[in-house]
């Protein structure tokens, strides 16, 4: 004899299934990210001026692959996947010829605008120190600063409460993809 299953039991089974999927799937994604990091972790040495002999050879003018490394809070380096076009990106030390070393993005006050009533508007811009090095030799090819872009101008009239402060942010460096690609194109080809 078949029994009718209540909606509460089905909902509970569904919740358990979702939790198992999320926890196991999330763990697999974290493990996958850690595996990718470990495949390129040696490339951080090139950012510190140390050659990485197991990296791919770089031939100027030939198409090359690169890995982007970001300086972390403790001064170490971690790979930033997804910052490069797929035809330029590498996810192993052995296929990486070029390492793009990114320091932390820096926020700068571009302008302070004072208004009647003590209101203030601050315009901020962002920039980031970028070094591009040959992985095998740690030879620097480019050492520059990339700007994210200009912040919106302070408005002619600012309305609000007396003593209020307003913030106008320019684009972050990660949004300046055209500048980033123009910097890499002569080195990576394409």
pLDDT score for 40 = 74
What digits encode the pLDDT tens for the residues 23-47?
444 443 333 444 444 567 889 999 9
| Distance between CA atoms of residues 137 and 126, nearest Å | 31
pTM exceeds 0.85 for this model: no
Q: Is 76 a residue whose pLDDT tops 80?
A: yes
User: In which element (H, E) is residue 165 found?
Assistant: strand 165-169
What digits encode the pLDDT tens for the residues 99-126?
999 999 999 999 999 999 899 999 999 9
How much is the average pLDDT of 14-26?
43
- Position with higher pLDDT, 99 vs 18: 99
DSSP-assigned beta bridge partners for residue 72: none
Q: Is 8 a residue whose pLDDT tops 50?
A: no
- Position with higher pLDDT, 82 vs 130: 130
Pairing state between β 140-147 and 106-114: unpaired
Spatial contact of 133 and 178, defined as CB atoms under 8 Å apart: no
Q: Is 9 a residue whose pLDDT tops 90?
A: no
| Distance between CA atoms of residues 91 and 65, nearest Å | 9
HSE-up (13 A, CA, CB side) for residue 39? 15
């Amino acid at each position: 004899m078949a029994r009718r299953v209540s909606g509460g039991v089905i909902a509970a089974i569904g919740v358990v299934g979702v939790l198992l999927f999320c926890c196991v799937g999330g763990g697999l994604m974290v493990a996958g990210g850690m595996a990718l990091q470990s495949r390129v972790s040696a490339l951080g040495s090139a950012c510190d001026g140390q050659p990485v002999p197991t990296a791919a050879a770089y031939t100027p003018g030939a198409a090359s692959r690169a890995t982007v490394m970001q300086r972390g809070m403790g001064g170490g380096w971690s790979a930033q996947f997804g910052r490069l076009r797929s035809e330029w990106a590498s996810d192993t030390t052995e296929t990486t010829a070029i390492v793009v070393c990114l320091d932390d993005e820096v926020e700068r006050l571009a302008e302070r605008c004072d208004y009647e009533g003590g209101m203030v508007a601050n315009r901020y811009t962002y920039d980031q120190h970028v070094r591009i090095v040959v992985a095998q030799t740690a030879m620097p090819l480019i050492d520059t600063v990339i700007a994210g872009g200009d912040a919106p101008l302070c408005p002619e009239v600012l309305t609000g409460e007396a003593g209020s402060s307003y913030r106008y942010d320019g684009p972050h460096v990660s949004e300046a993809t055209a500048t980033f690609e123009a910097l890499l194109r002569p080195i990576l080809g394409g």
